[in-house]
Amino acid sequence: MATMFPSAEAYERFMGRWSIHLARRYLDFVRLGESSRVLDVGCGTGAMADAIASAKIPVSIVGIDPVDAFVDYCRARFTDPGYSFDGGNALELAYPNGSFDAAVSLLVLHLVPDPRKAAGEMRRVTKPGGVVSACIWDAEGTEMNAMIWEEALRLDPLVAGKAERPKHCNGKGQLAALWQEVGLENVEEAMIEMRTDFETFDDYWVPYLAGVGPTGGYVAALPPDRREALASGLRKRLLGDIPDGPISLRAKAWAVRGRVPVQ
């Protein structure tokens, strides 16, 4: 995991502008209500914590992430004593049963090798009646990365096996089915749509060069001539005959919420 995310600052430049906008929309869907202690599974650089803080929701947050650089970044970023961040694995949450009033996870489950186990762990550590929720990008609905892979395939058909294609939890009904499978009740699923704006082509392109995530790793590893060919194709596709200018790209994500049964 750490090899895909070499630095927190690079991740923020690459995905931060997307994840913070998504986190705020996702938070509206989660409806934390009177939850007082929230577990953020795969906290990354703190998009959910930022959304909760911006909304002034009076909760304490425990964020976990397997990437040490993200944990350190969040500890420096959030000084509220009610916010804490630690290393952790979504498949083996290091907390007793019923430790939290709610558990949330943003843009994580598609990276987890066993999402069913992760969902079961989120349910286990949440109190009866508490909310368990997750949100990930739709399989085909995020233009930012999709365009790069489409253009890469046009230039080199052999790249198909490297394309970033989440294998689970990323289509209609899949998160809801998973939530029902682990025994959560009152399951709701919804699509969240958004757009993100870039001031220039470089504003869009340069963050990929840091090698963040599977797509960034592919771009950064290309020989200079092939990387420039990819950039030229994308520039033409996004801007046409205009030398440079603003770019707006859309994204879709699936969100699910359910409650732990009250026994």
Residue-wise pLDDT for 162-191, tens only, equals 555 555 677 889 999 999 999 999 999 999
pLDDT on residue 168: 66
236 CB neighbour count, 10 Å cutoff: 11
Report pLDDT digits (tens) over 50-64.
Answer: 999 999 999 999 999
| Cα distance between residue 159 and residue 95, in whole Å | 41
Taking only the tens place, the pLDDT of each residue in 5-58 is 657 887 787 777 889 899 999 999 999 987 899 999 999 999 999 999 999 999
Residues 52-100 have pLDDT tens digits of 999 999 999 999 999 999 999 999 999 999 999 999 999 999 999 999 9
CA angle, 143 then 169 then 2, to 5°: 75
Bigger pLDDT: 136 or 111? 136
Task: For each of the domains in the chain, give its residue range(s) and CATH number, in order of start.
Answer: 8-141+165-197+251-259 (3.40.50.150)
What pLDDT does residue 2 have?
Answer: 45
pTM for the structure as a whole = 0.88
